[in-house]
């Protein structure tokens, strides 16, 4: 009986390790290849950004709809939950496209 318990415990440990590895890999994101425009990005596109999940992406879009287009990337700091540290993680992956064709 002890061998059976040890085998069961070993199998359970293996399952837990593999599950943890799978979850960790699923949470790892590949950031966008080119910066995305904060004024046109969808919720799905915003979720590609490091440390931005579905809820935060939704809040960014809602903020943009309510307050108008972003003028600078730093405007994200007005959104609850976006700290200076989070902004610095996503800064390389976002941009504000000029609406003026002369610029």
Residue indicated by tokens 């919720």:
43
Please state the length of the chain. 103
Task: Answer whether 61's CB lies under 8 Å from 49's CB.
Answer: no
Distance CA 101, CA 81 (A): 33
List the one residue out of 70, 78, 9 whose CA is nearest residue 36: 70
Q: What is the CATH number of domain 36-95?
A: 1.10.150.320
From first to last of the 103 residues of the chain, give the pLDDT tens digit. 566 777 666 666 666 656 554 554 445 668 888 999 999 999 999 999 999 999 999 999 999 999 999 999 999 999 999 999 999 999 999 999 976 544 4
* Domain residue spans of the chain: 1-30, 36-95
* pLDDT at residue 27 in the model: 54
Could you tell me which residues are beta bridge partners of residue 95?
Answer: 37
Burial class (CB in 10 A: 0-12, 13-18, 19+), 51: middle
Query: What whole-number distance in Å separates Cα of residue 23 and Cα of residue 28?
Result: 9
Predicted structure pTM score: 0.68
């Amino acid at each position: 009986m002890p061998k059976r318990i040890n085998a069961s415990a070993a199998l359970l440990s293996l399952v837990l390790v593999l599950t943890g590895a799978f979850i960790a890999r699923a949470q790892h994101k590949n950031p966008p290849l080119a910066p995305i425009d904060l004024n046109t990005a969808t919720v799905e596109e915003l979720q590609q950004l490091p440390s931005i999940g579905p809820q935060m992406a939704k809040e960014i879009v809602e903020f943009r709809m309510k307050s108008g287009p972003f003028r600078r990337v730093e405007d994200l700091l007005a959104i609850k939950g976006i700290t200076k540290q989070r902004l610095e993680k996503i800064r390389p992956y976002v941009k504000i496209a000029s609406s003026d064709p002369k610029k």
